[in-house]
Structure 1
């Protein structure tokens, strides 16, 4: 799972949509790269116009691809 957080600054809605598409295309390409592929199951984007160091759980995220959650098997269960 990858969460990308970015500040919209003075971007128009059109430009924000373009940037989200570029982020999605990049990570989709990384999933199938011949060298250095990244096994990404979920990509989320969070717009945050504040100043913070890290994830803000109270701000919604947009699902770009994948199921939106991580599934983990523990102890063979």
Structure 2
């Protein structure tokens, strides 16, 4: 299932079926992944999940994700 382009109702249904623990797993996958294209896709999936189910937001905020995002932003050179 391509959650990046899915309708929010489908994402909510997926989260209801598989639970919010899948959000924690996605955050862990983001931390472990080294390929930028896959990390970007994982962020899109997490954004879709948070938009469809606001209960996902605290899970993301209290995970390793914010620290990983800060590290990625600080290591990215502009220009």
Q: Which has the higher helix share?
A: 2
TM-score (normalizing by structure 1) = 0.37
